[in-house]
């Protein structure tokens, strides 16, 4: 039976309708409807607008109603960069970092990503899935309705495929949409590292075995590379991304996080959907992104967690006209958070983005970076009814209150997937 749902009584309804992607001044254009309502038909938005208008539609009369009683309604967050599947935290490294060890020092001693690889290889698929399910419930509880998930803690054929197959299984078992990315090129695994020709042989495993298998099984939409000191060179990154592209996986890239490698220029050259991190970009990189269609995804959770003082130059990127998006980078090494509201707080206080810019970067621009801006990222008739409802009077209070979860309800395709106080 077709179902109608009326969500009404929003003090502010952040529609974000309009031009996609948002660049420059348009990034702060939230298209707010005061005292707004949304009518949903079979999981799809049928109407959005002022309460009186929407409520008087014939379909609204018999619809099931949720009165949000003056709260703020916005599109569900689109978290466009996560490393969802991992086996355990790295709290022991967190303590070492606080005591002064750098992220790179820990990695050189076999910690870091390789530490997570060891733990993932030893974990059963069942245990990994259970951990991911718990994380997904937490994502939903913070207003996220779609997330990208990268492999990259397996780094051998069986373990990478295990992760990507879990993305698929999780997509079927719980309500949030998971967009799968292959990140076999996270780092060179221990069995190839520091061996003559080792890195080259691992790149061959990626390009000759893994990419074709991932493509044949349709396990990933995107192919990502960590292009940095201690990870992959620009030359190897290019080869891997081009191979991925030939197999139908669009490039994404971890760029200029620890050092400037020229990865941003590579991202633009290969037409990457997204170029992420960007702490170390220079002016030429900013210009290149501004002229391109590649999203610049900023991950301030990493700098915060690692205690780094240098955040990505968000203001310069926005003012130059780059397509700025925001994501958690949920992972055990650099950003163990599922909270997009916390990322918005960091974007405002550390990246000097306005609350409106941060919200647009975390919804419509992030949806664009996942090639889903026609379906999600704004509240418009015909789009999926993915909504986050916050227990605040004004949208600026979403980043303003930090360290406390103000998400009141989350809906995915018109279905309540989180409600405060209900488990």
- Nearest to 254, CA basis, from 186, 320, 342, 164: 186
Q: Is the CB of 243 or the CB of 329 nearer to ligand NIG?
A: 329
For residue 42, give the nearest of 382, 367, 409, 363 by alpha carbon: 382
* β-strand pairing of 177-185 with 144-150: parallel
Which CB, 243 or 329, lies closer to Fe ion? 329
Partner in contact with 302, chosen from Fe ion, ligand NIG, none, beta carbon below 5 to 8 Å by kind:
ligand NIG
Instruction: Give the interface with ligand NIG as residue ranges (CB under 6 A).
Output: 112-113, 116, 226, 254, 257, 302, 329, 331-334
Give yes or no for residue 228 binding Fe ion (CB under 5 A).
no
Distance CA 270, CA 250 (A): 9
Cα–Cα distance measured from residue 164 to residue 91, given in angstroms and rounded to the nearest whole number? 25
Distance CA 121, CA 367 (A): 32
Q: Which two tokens stand for residue 372?
A: 């889903």
Give least dist CB 83 to Fe ion, A: 6
Smallest distance, ligand NIG to C-beta of residue 255, A: 10
In whole angstroms, what separates CA 286 from the centre of its chain? 21
The answer to whether residue 386 forms part of the interface with Fe ion (CB under 5 A) is no
**Given the complex with ligand NIG, which of 15 and 334 has the nearer CB atom?**
334
Q: Which does 332 bind (CB under 5 to 8 A by kind): ligand NIG, Fe ion, none?
A: ligand NIG
Q: Which residues lie closer than 8 Å to 166 by C-beta, 6 or more apart? A: 85, 125, 128, 129, 132
If DSSP codes are grouped into helix, strand and coil, which group holds residue 73? strand
- The CA distances from residue 60 to 4, 5, 53, 412, in Å, are 7, 7, 10, 19
* Inter-residue contact 33 to 75 (CB < 8 Å): no
Residue nearest ligand NIG, Cβ-based? 333
d(CA 9, CA 67): 5
Judged by beta carbon, residue 73 or residue 370, the one nearer Fe ion is 370
Residue nearest to Fe ion (CB): 329
| SS3 (DSSP) at 245 | helix
Choices 9-17, 23-31, 131-139, 321-329 (CB under 5 A): range interacting with Fe ion: 321-329
| Closer by beta carbon to ligand NIG, 10 or else 187 | 187
User: Is residue 303 close enough to count as binding Fe ion by CB under 5 A?
Assistant: no
Q: Which stretch binds Fe ion (CB under 5 A): 123-131, 155-163, 192-200, 322-330?
A: 322-330
Q: Please say which residue, 5 or 231, places its beta carbon nearer to ligand NIG.
A: 231
Cis ω for the linkage preceding 58 (within 30 of 0): no
* CB closer to Fe ion out of 189 and 332: 332
Among residues 193 and 291, whose Cβ is nearest to ligand NIG?
193
**Least distance CB 269 / ligand NIG (angstroms):** 21
Q: How far is the CB of 328 from ligand NIG (least distance, A)?
A: 10
Q: Tokens 């990246």 map to which residue?
A: 351
Radius of gyration of the chain (CA): 21
Q: With CB cut-offs between 5 and 8 Å by kind, which of ligand NIG, Fe ion, none does residue 170 bind?
A: none
Stretch that binds Fe ion, among 39-47, 95-103, 325-333, 408-416 (CB under 5 A): 325-333
Token output for 18 = 């309009």
CB of 112 to ligand NIG, least distance (A): 5
The answer to whether 412 touches 386, Cβ cutoff 8 Å, is yes
Is 329 a binding residue for Fe ion by CB under 5 A? The answer is yes
Nearest to 339 by CA among 405, 262, 383, 271: 405
Residue 34 CB, nearest approach to Fe ion (Å):
38
The entry of Fe ion, ligand NIG, none near residue 334 (CB within 5 to 8 angstroms by kind) is ligand NIG
Give the nearest distance from C-beta 83 to ligand NIG in angstroms.
Answer: 6
Q: How far is the CB of 182 from ligand NIG (least distance, A)?
A: 14
Q: How far is the CB of 79 from ligand NIG (least distance, A)?
A: 13
Point out which residues pair with 275 in neighbouring strands.
253, 296
Helix (H, G, I), strand (E, B) or coil at 326: strand
Min dist CB 185 to Fe ion, Å, is 12
136 and 417 Cβ atoms separated by less than 8 Å? no
Where on the chain is the footprint of Fe ion (CB under 5 A)? 329
């Amino acid at each position: 039976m077709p179902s109608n749902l009326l969500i009404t009584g929003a003090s502010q309804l952040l529609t974000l309708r309009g031009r996609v992607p948002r660049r420059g001044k348009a990034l702060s254009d939230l298209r707010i409807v005061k005292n707004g309502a949304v009518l949903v038909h079979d999981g799809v938005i049928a109407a959005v607008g002022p309460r009186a208008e929407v409520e008087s539609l014939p379909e609204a009369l018999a619809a099931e109603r949720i009165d949000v009683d003056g709260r703020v309604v916005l599109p569900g967050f689109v978290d466009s960069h996560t490393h969802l599947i991992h086996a355990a935290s790295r709290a022991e490294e967190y303590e070492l970092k606080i005591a002064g060890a750098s992220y790179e020092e820990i990695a050189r001693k076999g910690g870091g990503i390789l530490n997570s690889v060891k733990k993932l290889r030893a974990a059963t698929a069942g245990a990994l899935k259970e951990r991911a399910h718990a994380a997904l419930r937490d994502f939903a509880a913070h207003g996220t309705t779609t997330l990208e998930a990268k492999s990259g803690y397996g780094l051998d054929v069986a373990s990478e495929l295990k992760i990507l197959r879990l993305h698929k299984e999780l997509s079927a078992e719980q309500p949030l949409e998971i967009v799968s990315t292959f990140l076999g090129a996270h780092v060179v695994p221990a069995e190839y590292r520091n061996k003559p020709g080792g890195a080259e042989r691992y790149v061959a495993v990626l390009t000759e075995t893994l990419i074709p298998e991932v493509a044949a099984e349709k396990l990933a939409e995107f192919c990502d590379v960590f292009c940095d000191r201690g990870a992959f060179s620009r030359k190897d990154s290019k080869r891997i991304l081009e191979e991925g592209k030939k197999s139908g996986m669009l490039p994404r890239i971890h760029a200029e996080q620890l050092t400037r490698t020229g990865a941003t220029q590579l991202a633009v050259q290969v037409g990457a959907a997204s170029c992420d991190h960007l702490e170390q970009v220079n002016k030429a990189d900013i210009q290149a992104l501004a002229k391109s269609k590649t999203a610049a995804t900023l991950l301030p959770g990493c700098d915060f967690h690692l205690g780094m003082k240098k955040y990505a130059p968000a203001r310069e990127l926005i003012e130059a006209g780059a397509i700025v998006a925001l994501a958690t980078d949920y992972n055990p090494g650099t950003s163990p958070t599922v909270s997009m509201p916390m990322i918005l707080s960091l974007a405002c206080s550390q990246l000097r983005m306005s609350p409106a810019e941060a919200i647009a970067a975390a919804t419509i621009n992030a949806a664009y970076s996942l090639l889903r801006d026609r379906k999600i990222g704004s509240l418009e008739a015909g789009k999926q009814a993915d909504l986050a409802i916050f227990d605040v009077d004004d949208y600026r209070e979403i980043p303003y209150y930090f360290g406390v979860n103000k998400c009141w309800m989350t809906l995915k395709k018109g279905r309540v997937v989180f409600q405060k106080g209900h488990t």
